[in-house]
Amino acid sequence: MRQELQTLLQAMQSERNSILKKQESFGEQLRSLRETRQKMARHCVNELLPDLQAETIKALRREVPNFSIPTKSGFFSKLVSFFGGASADKIDPRVPLDLLRIHLGSYLDNSEEKPETRAKVEELDRAIHDLQTNLIKSNTERLDEISERIKALEKLQAVDQKKLNPETRDRIEEALKSQAYRFRSGFGKKQPDQRQKLVAPPYPTRPQISSDSGPSLLEMWLWYQLLMPHSEVSREIQQFEQFEPGGGLSGGAGASGEFPEKTQVSSDGSSDSSGALLAGVVAASAINERVGIEQHDDLGAKSFS
């Protein structure tokens, strides 16, 4: 069983490394889109307010009618406005152009008004939103799932499999062999599934294993048993963890309060300890921090100003 277990571990560690590289690539795309979006937003503001000429202010009022423009009115302007005529207010000379642009940008950040010049900015908003809510999100979920499965396999690897119930050991070995083949063939590299099931999937019968759906049934059984803490296999593994040195939270370094040294991940992603999982999680955290991955609730806004 150890050979099948190691084969699957190496395949999953290699997949995790691939996901981390993809996450970094998505991060670069996101940074580039945000920078472009910010430049486009500033261009939009400058196009709406290139100067403080009277014609510019009139055009701005047509494009963004609810934006408040500080003006300095004379008696004649107030009189014309009182009788329903067009206001002849002039821009307050104390307001510099750059400051007014900042106010306009802040207004556009928080307003539902959409001048025509904002169309390209909104197009970038949609691209950023799609990247964050689809590609980055699904990639992160896949990374989390792979990391959980690697951790479960390493826990199984730390246990003396000879002490497991013979029937349980044979079932795990058959499921591992099937899953390792599926993973190498690409069938296991799918989107995260809903594994939080209320009822444990039964171990398939021999005819079911030999059928076309056999590998999928074995996969469902294996990961439920390894990932669900109250499953039959998980309880059996936990029982041996309590007595074996270094076998989990109840023994070895975990019990003494000491932490094992990090191990190096080889070029194929394999490792002989849980240090590889820790390295992968730390790497993912660092990438997410550099990328600035967060919920895109403002579609990359706050950059007009």
- 176-211 pLDDT, tens digit per residue, is 988 887 777 766 555 445 445 557 889 999 999 889
Conformational region of residue 246, where left means phi above 0, alpha means psi within -120 to 50, and beta covers everything else: left
- The residue type found at 278 is L
Q: What is the percent of the chain with per-residue pLDDT over 70, rounded to a whole number? A: 68
Where along the chain do its domains lie? 2-35+140-291, 46-123
> What's the pLDDT at 137?
93
- 34-51 pLDDT, tens digit per residue, is 999 999 999 999 999 999
The span from the first CA to the last CA of the chain, in angstroms, equals: 61
- 110-125 pLDDT, tens digit per residue, is 888 888 888 889 999 9
Query: What is the spatial distance between Cα 15 and Cα 269, in angstroms, rounded to a whole number?
Result: 8
Instruction: For 108-137, give one letter per residue: b (16+ CB within 10 A) or e.
Output: beeeeeebebbeebeebbebbeebbeebbe
